[in-house]
Amino acid sequence: MKTYVRLLSLCALSLLFIGQGCVSFGSSSSNSSGPAGMFASSNKGESWQPVSTLPKSDGIKNMSGVSVYRIFDDPQDPSTMYWASRGHGLFFTHDNGITWQQPLSPSLTQGFIYGVAVHPKDKCTLYVTNGKLVYKSTDCTRTWSEVHRESSSDNVVSVLISPVAPYDVYLATTKGRFLVSKDTGVSWQTVFQFRYPIAEAFVDPFVKDRVYVATKEYGMYRSFDAGQTWVSANEDIADLSDALEFRRFIPYTGKEHYLYYVSTYGIHVSENAGDSWETLELIHPAGSAKIYGFDVNPQNKNEIYYTATINDRSTFYKSIDGGVSWITKELPSKQLPTALRVHPSIDNQLYLGFTIPPKE
């Protein structure tokens, strides 16, 4: 134990003074645009520090070469996060990102991770998908079992758990299939087939059986009966240029019926679960930026944060007045800022994940 603590201390000093860990992880050395991995801010984005260390038996690994696809929350434990990576599997933290771990299953320590869902009442039960397979753990990531397999060219892009009993599990696929399991993943049925490719799916945090689907280029759809039937949620934005091209979506956990939909056009807010939308006035031209990272403070909806990439330059934006005005800040890396999270209980704390763009 003393040896491990000494190793951790030495590596922490290395990170502080030379900016790298004791053991490299990933491949950022040949990249001149800075690190990927995860960063944290304790002052609402004024400054950032890397939080990408993985203690292993052979040393502390620096994950600055690991790309972040998404950050997923544990609805019961705000200090727990799941880092879905692009190519290096799944990572998780129970200490607000100070250190990260990986599952013991080799299947989840490599490859692209698309989705993570944690049971709303049992934090040790979770589902993870790498596209082709869906895995389930009931013992806090110690062991995993396969509960679904895609044998066709389709991919599972989202796995969801209903926030209320009986806690049905949903899957959404790139080819537009929406599946449900009513027996915790033992069996599945396709309850709806969209005509359009699905980018992601989401459950409403307040309302039973209300789910949302974001298509890649045809806007948002919502269901009030657990996916059996769907209606468009594109009122007020369908006529805006590129407003149906999906970027990000948040069913806001701070207030019932509040939604945030980010399109290529810009940022849209609904106060009535998608019946109507208001488009925020941004300080860059509509449609000019690719907004990847986006989040809203669950304790204060006037605090809105996002990252915008225009050509090859990315900028951090924040508003403290609900989007009336915006403050811009420099980002800690020139990689793509793809994931943003506001800590739900630690004031001023933000997390930002970067992705190394694939070589053309």
Q: How far apart are CA 118 and CA 155, in angstroms?
A: 20
User: Buried (b) or exposed (e) across 67-103, using 16+ Cβ within 10 A?
Assistant: bbbbbbbbbeeeebbbbbbbbbbbbbbbebbeebebb
Please tell me which residue, 337 or 57, carries the higher pLDDT value: 337
Q: What are the Cα distances from residue 350, in Å, to 41, 65, 354? A: 5, 20, 14
Tens-digit pLDDT profile for residues 316-335: 999 999 999 999 999 999 99
Question: What's the confidence (pLDDT) of residue 127?
Answer: 98
Phi, psi (degrees; rounded to nearest 5) at 183: -130, 40
Per-residue tokens: 69: 């696809």
Give the residue ranges of DSSP H helices in the chain. Answer: 2-18
Three-state secondary-structure class, residue 11? helix
Q: 175, 126, 184: which is closest to 151 by C-alpha?
A: 175
Per-residue tokens: 309: 């990439």
Per-residue tokens: 167: 């806690």
The torsion region of residue 206 among left (phi > 0), alpha (psi -120 to 50) and beta comes to alpha
Query: Is 230 within 8 Å of 274 (Cβ atoms)?
Result: no
Does residue 83 have a pLDDT over 70?
yes
Query: Is 5 within 8 Å of 321 (Cβ atoms)?
Result: no
Q: How far apart are CA 254 and CA 61, in angstroms?
A: 36
DSSP per-residue letters across 86-113 = EEB-EEEESSTTSS-B--S-GGGSSEE-
Query: Is 11 within 8 Å of 60 (Cβ atoms)?
Result: yes
For residue 33, what pLDDT band results from cuts at 50, 70 and 90?
confident
Mean pLDDT within 125-146: 97
Q: How far apart are CA 152 and CA 26, in angstroms?
A: 30
Residue with tokens 């900028």: 315
Does residue 7 have a pLDDT over 90?
no
**This prediction's pTM:** 0.91
Q: How far apart are CA 27 and CA 309, in angstroms?
A: 23
Does residue 14 have a pLDDT over 60?
no
Q: How far apart are CA 330 and CA 307, in angstroms?
A: 10
Question: What's the confidence (pLDDT) of residue 25?
Answer: 60
Does residue 5 have a pLDDT over 60?
no
Q: What are the Cα distances from residue 262, in Å, to 45, 148, 243, 295? A: 20, 30, 8, 10
CA 249 to chain CA mean position, Å = 10
How deeply is 305 buried, as exposed, middle or buried, from its count of CB atoms within 10 A (0-12, 13-18, 19+)? buried
Q: How far apart are CA 41 and CA 336, in angstroms?
A: 17
Does residue 27 have a pLDDT over 90?
no
For residue 151, what pLDDT band results from cuts at 50, 70 and 90?
confident
Tens-digit pLDDT profile for residues 52-72: 999 988 899 999 999 999 999
Q: What are the Cα distances from residue 265, in Å, to 117, 304, 327, 350? A: 29, 17, 20, 25
Using alpha carbons only, what angle is made at residue 296 by residues 213 and 233, rounded to the nearest 5 degrees? Answer: 30
Query: Is 234 within 8 Å of 240 (Cβ atoms)?
Result: no
**Which distant-in-sequence residues (6+ apart) come within 8 Å of 278 by Cβ?**
236, 268, 269, 270, 271
Residue with tokens 């299947």: 107
Please report, as a single letter, which amino acid is at residue 166. P
Phi, psi (degrees; rounded to nearest 5) at 185: 100, 0
